[in-house]
Chain A
């Protein structure tokens, strides 16, 4: 500062005059009972401003939290099901599926004849590590004097791709008397591990009698990966299921899954298999995801539209509130400008306040969104025909980071107009208006 402006006669160690510097005369000054916080992290002013109208700001934060929760749900939903499906398909490490032409695995009741021969041919490919033939068919289980409908899987215990053992024992290769049950099947049949279960083949529609009956011992309880919620499913060795389903004569199966040793060999192997078996549908997991994505295109569009709407609502909410706030504080802002606060500082303060409001509301929204995603997931995964292991709302770090950044940008953007309003307010006029 210009020394000339400081007054005169300030000696070394003397409190500068012209700066009202002398101690209060008279009685000693009492110490403050409310000392200023000495915290190294004092609460910034823009955050304290949020406490001015607690009810109003609380309601605004609740609004932001709701829109953010919606945004979060839409972000999770947009790619969640696809990611979940990919995880499901690769859950047992099999990257290629072969199914009857024009179908996806277990999508229809169509079957593949000569599945053992095809399996043997595929196993010759040097890139292939494991080949698992599968059969699926509905059948019956006997419970007391009635029959209950079940879904049966035929598997090769040495190369299985369909389940995870939950308790009991797995089937061993060559075990033609063992049975695996899903929890719903065990409950439906009233069976536990070690019990003998009678399975009855599908009724012959011509004579309405059962084709064959097998008595098998329950070895374990498993979770079938592609079952829908509550589906009563059982699994046996492939030949047993083929007998029960009437597939044995032509050695029929529903699908073949293939595990390739090296990930980079998946696409070339898929292409080779496609060429070798032109009458079959050959898909890698990537191909299946393309099919899946096509089916989910409406989901993605809906997510994008609703997510965008929630962002716009957030911006409007914050902008409206900050505009009201700035208009209420016109006198205060004019005073700050009068006493030397720069336009930049005023703009920064307003924009920081808007961003802080968005981020606090966003944090609350993240909690709310997580809870609602969990709740909605439970509802959606209970829809019939959907694998229970599929999740609609799957967190993805990159998507969440992008959503967080977009939300922050939206908060800053929402502060632009009110900040401009604050910065351009004429000081003198505002002070004059405030004084009257």
Chain B
């Protein structure tokens, strides 16, 4: 069994809304091992995205803690947390959020550029990643010239740029039609088979069905946590 790379303990998140306190998360605990493919599912408002944002250090918890490779994210300064997100986490969003003025290649290079990777090195890696997601022939196209599915593939390549420990994806197929979503699904499957640790928030049952472990949430709590294949939750045939 692999060691837990990402651990959430008794996470709580409250925020005010119209004069009342909303309890978005009410003590969620979760340990994700290296190489696991975890789907977080649940109805709207169940706290899935909030949990993902806390796991990714892009929001602060009202209580509890998150540890990434032994480092408590709450103890980090904004600058350190930014650096952790840059180098140890990869993010994929529902709306892709590529920079429209950059080409696919440049979008993938962006996090590496921020991390100080040498130019020739980041170019080579970006090309390699675009090939991996099947977009080598679109490297020189601006983001605005790509289809939704292609943009999401570029976003996946961007998330992988700095060789992160964990990829966090929030509704990655939410903006895509069924056929295009299927392609992204296949890509996630391949990522998992290649040992990438994946945490995916989704409404998409097909995507959840691909995951080795499914975490069900309801009203800010984890109500079910099921590993389908093996104790680690990796897909059968995985290389880990």
Contact = CB atoms under 8 A, between A and B. Distances in A.
Interface stretch (A46-54, A82-90, A312-320): A46-54
A198 B140 CA distance: 83
A19 B163 contact: yes
A31 B127 CA distance: 11
Contacts of A36: 103, 105-106, 123, 139-140
Nearest to B160: A20
B18 interface: no
Interface stretch (A266-274, A337-345, A404-412): A337-345
A118 to B, nearest CB: 76
B94 interface: yes
Interface string B201-227: 000000000000000000000000000
Given A1-B162, A17-B195, A21-B128, A49 B170 contact: no
A432 B49 contact: yes
B97 interface: yes
A294 interface: no
Interface in B62-93: 69, 78-79, 82-83, 85-91, 93
Given A18-B197, A29-B136, A34-B140, A2 B58 contact: no
Interface residues of A, number: 50
A126 interface: no
A144 interface: no
B165 A6 contact: yes
Contacts of B53: 427-428, 431
A109 interface: no
A45 interface: yes
Given A5-B164, A48-B102, A331-B97, A339 B86 contact: yes
Interface in A303-357: 331-332, 335-343, 345
A18 B165 contact: yes
Nearest to B93: A335
Interface size class of B (residues with CB under 8 A): 35 or more
A7 B158 contact: no
B111 interface: yes
Given A342-B79, A434-B95, A22 B132 contact: yes
Given A23-B131, A29-B131, A435-B95, A340 B87 contact: yes
Given A5-B69, A32-B136, A18 B101 contact: no
Contacts of B94: 435
A37 B103 CA distance: 10
B59 interface: yes
B134 A338 contact: no
A11 interface: no
Contacts of A345: 114
A83 to B, nearest CB: 45
Given A18-B195, A52-B101, A34 B141 contact: yes
B28 to A, nearest CB: 16
A338 B58 contact: yes
Contact of B111 (A16, A48, A340): A340
A4 interface: yes
B56 A338 contact: yes
Contact of A45 (B49, B56, B101): B101
B137 A33 contact: yes
A7 B88 contact: no
13 contacts: A5-B5, A8-B240, A18-B164, A24-B132, A36-B139, A48-B102, A339-B85, A340-B82, A340-B87, A341-B82, A427-B59, A432-B49, A435-B170
Interface of A: 1-2, 4-8, 15-24, 29-37, 45, 48-49, 51-52, 331-332, 335-343, 345, 426-428, 431-432, 434-435
